[in-house]
């Protein structure tokens, strides 16, 4: 038998055991040990195999002497990776008693799982029969006339209770909590620490409120990001993409001018009764957590000896600036300390470390404001300076840097001028660090081989 044929057989055995032969053992033989959830008539929705027998028995009509037969209008099966399957089946129940035949129809959706090589049912949802006198009589299990309405109310109530539990869980660690009806663009509930966050009366339009309050509560540099995630249009787009949660981290301003890291999270839900799209929105203080993360990230990006960016972080930040910048200007230069191996071999590694740190400090003094600095490895350093050309850089700050290094005061009365070879490349037109690095490296190579202690600007003719 094929997998589809086996699944079909299990489905039919389950229906026969439950609706025709009323054989609980047959029913249980079709059920997986891992039960997700199985609905049995009006009696309930169970999540364990052991509960099924009692619930099944309570749903039988004790005085029912009619004969039942089943007809399967269709059964659609979809198998996933040979281990899971979904099925949707339409079952018509024929009831015969004293020559009278009545019938009812069910739609069932099932989840099958393979256990020990056999297909078993681990989840099932059955639509109730249409509520008519004929169908009520034809259905072999007890069904209340108001079953459908009761189920709808119960599901809605359970969904509401689940969200209430979620609310209680997050409220313990929040500074603001809102329920928003995005379909109607309004707030429904609000609980806030009003010294930190803004209160919204129920019925307040969501979009207008956010745009009005953002200048007061969100740091200027984070406002565009905040709106791109949490404006009404952005939320509705997320709902359209079937997302269940959106969030945004930003700096939240306190009264008096101070600020702290916060996150706004919106859990997107659909009201089971009205079908409206809503969100449970809460604001959390994540300042300590965020600062720890930033500190760890900063440590991971820094060269242990000099404190400036290591090569990986330097390349990342320059690449990011190149890809996002609107200005065409900018220059990148590489610096290599002349005769550094000789210095290390002659005066020892502690003195070599002193030289490296001194070069890094000189770079910070000249370029840290508005520039990106990094130790690229060994005695090689780099700096990217936006909004400057190679020519102005060479004639200005690079010249000052080289002069300062020559005047460096070494410890232990060691008198040795520290010179360096520098290559500079204009960033105009460059969109990748590798291109700039190659050009500056070629220029630095010419400095090295032209007598050291020089600065060379890359040109296409080199």
Residue with token string 């090589």: 117
Q: What is the pLDDT of residues 165-203, one digit of tens each?
A: 555 555 556 788 899 999 999 999 888 877 788 899 999
Ordered by start, the domain boundaries in the chain are 3-145, 153-290, 302-457
CA triple 428-433-435, angle to 5 deg: 65
DSSP state of 76: E
Q: Which residue has the higher pLDDT, 311 or 164?
A: 311
Number of CB atoms found within 10 A of residue 302's CB: 16
Residue with token string 């806030």: 192
- H or E element in which residue 67 lies: strand 67-80
Q: Residue 133 pLDDT more than 50? A: no
pLDDT (0 to 100) of residue 148:
42
Check: CB of residue 458 under 8 Å from CB of residue 390. Answer: yes
Which of 40-54, 155-169, 399-413 comes out lowest in average pLDDT?
Answer: 155-169
Q: Which residue has the higher pLDDT, 234 or 152?
A: 234
Listed in sequence order, the residues at least 6 apart from 66 whose beta carbon sits closer than 8 Å to its beta carbon are 95, 96, 97, 140
DSSP state of 220: G
Which of 13-22, 132-141, 238-247, 272-281 comes out lowest in average pLDDT?
Answer: 132-141
Q: Residue 426 pLDDT more than 80? A: yes
- H or E element in which residue 42 lies: none
CA–CA distance, 246 with 268 (Å, rounded to integer): 8
Q: Please state which CATH number belongs to domain 153-290.
A: 3.30.450.20
Residue with token string 């209160």: 199
Q: What is the largest CA-CA distance in the chain?
A: 119
Q: What percent of the chain has pLDDT over 90?
A: 32
Please measure the distance between the N-terminal and C-terminal CA atoms of the chain and give it in whole angstroms: 76
Q: β-strands 118-126, 176-181: how paired?
A: unpaired
pLDDT (0 to 100) of residue 301:
86
Q: Residue 159 pLDDT more than 60? A: no
Q: Which residue has the higher pLDDT, 26 or 256?
A: 26
- Both structure tokens of 147: 């079953």
Q: Residue 8 pLDDT more than 90? A: yes
Check: CB of residue 382 under 8 Å from CB of residue 441. Answer: no
CATH topology of domain 3-145: Nuclear Transport Factor 2; Chain: A, (3.10.450)
DSSP state of 197: S
Chain center to CA of 110: 31
Which of 79-83, 299-303, 411-415, 439-443 comes out lowest in average pLDDT?
Answer: 411-415
Check: CB of residue 30 under 8 Å from CB of residue 121. Answer: yes
The answer to whether the Cα torsion of 142, 148, 153, 159 is positive or negative is positive
Q: What is the pLDDT of residues 106-127, one digit of tens each?
A: 788 889 999 989 999 988 877 6
pLDDT (0 to 100) of residue 150:
52
Chain center to CA of 268: 14
pLDDT (0 to 100) of residue 328:
58
Residue 144 binned pLDDT confidence (cut-offs 50, 70, 90): very low
Q: β-strands 259-270, 84-97: how paired?
A: unpaired
27-57 burial by CB neighbour count: b if 16+ within 10 A, else e? beebbbeebeebbbbbbebbeebebbeebbe
CA triple 449-454-460, angle to 5 deg: 70
DSSP 415-426: -----EEEEEEE
- Both structure tokens of 245: 């949660």
CATH topology of domain 302-457: Alpha-Beta Plaits (3.30.70)
Coil, strand, or helix at residue 28? Answer: helix
pLDDT (0 to 100) of residue 49:
76
Q: One fold for both 3-145 and 302-457?
A: no
């Amino acid at each position: 038998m094929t997998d589809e044929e086996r699944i079909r057989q299990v489905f039919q055995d389950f229906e026969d055991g439950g609706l025709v032969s009323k054989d609980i053992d047959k029913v249980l033989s079709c059920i997986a040990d891992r039960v997700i959830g199985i609905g049995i008539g009006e009696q309930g929705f169970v999540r364990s195999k052991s509960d099924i027998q009692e619930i099944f028995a309570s749903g039988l009509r004790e005085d029912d002497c009619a004969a039942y037969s089943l007809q399967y209008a269709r059964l659609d099966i979809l198998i996933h990776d040979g281990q899971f399957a979904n099925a949707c089946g339409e079952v018509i129940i024929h009831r015969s008693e004293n020559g009278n035949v009545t019938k009812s129809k069910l739609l069932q959706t099932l989840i099958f799982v393979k256990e020990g090589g056999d297909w078993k049912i681990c989840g099932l949802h059955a639509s109730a029969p249409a509520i008519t006198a004929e169908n009520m009589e034809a259905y072999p299990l007890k069904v209340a006339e108001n079953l459908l309405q009761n189920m709808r109310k119960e599901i809605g109530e359970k969904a509401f209770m689940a969200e209430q539990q979620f609310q209680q869980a997050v409220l313990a660690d929040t500074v603001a909590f809102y329920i928003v009806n995005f379909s109607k663009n309004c707030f429904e509930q609000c609980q806030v620490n009003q010294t930190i966050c803004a209160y919204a009366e129920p019925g307040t339009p969501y979009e207008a409120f956010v745009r009005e309050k953002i200048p007061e509560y969100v740091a200027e540099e984070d406002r565009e990001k905040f709106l791109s995630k949490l404006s009404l249009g952005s939320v509705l787009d997320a709902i359209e993409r079937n997302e269940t949660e959106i969030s945004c981290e930003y700096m939240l301003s306190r009264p008096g001018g101070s600020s702290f890291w916060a996150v706004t999270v919106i859990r997107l839900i659909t009201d089971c009764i009205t079908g409206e799209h809503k969100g449970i929105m809460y604001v959390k203080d994540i300042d300590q957590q965020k600062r720890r993360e930033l500190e760890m990230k900063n440590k991971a990006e820094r060269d242990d000896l000099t404190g400036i960016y290591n090569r990986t972080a330097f390349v990342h930040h320059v690449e990011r600036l190149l890809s996002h910048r609107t200005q065409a200007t900018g220059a990148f230069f590489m610096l290599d300390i002349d005769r550094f191996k000789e210095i290390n071999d002659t005066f020892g590694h502690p003195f070599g470390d002193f030289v490296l740190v001194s070069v890094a400090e000189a770079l910070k003094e000249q370029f840290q404001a508005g520039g990106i600095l990094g130790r690229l490895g060994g005695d090689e350093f780099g700096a990217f300076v936006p909004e400057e050309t190679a020519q102005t850089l060479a004639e200005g700050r690079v010249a000052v840097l080289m002069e300062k290094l020559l005047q460096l005061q070494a410890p232990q009365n060691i008198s040795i001028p520290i010179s360096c070879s520098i290559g500079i490349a204009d960033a105009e037109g460059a969109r990748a660090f590798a291109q700039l690095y190659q050009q500056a490296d070629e220029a630095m190579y010419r400095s090295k081989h032209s007598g050291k202690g020089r600065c060379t600007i890359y040109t296409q003719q080199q």
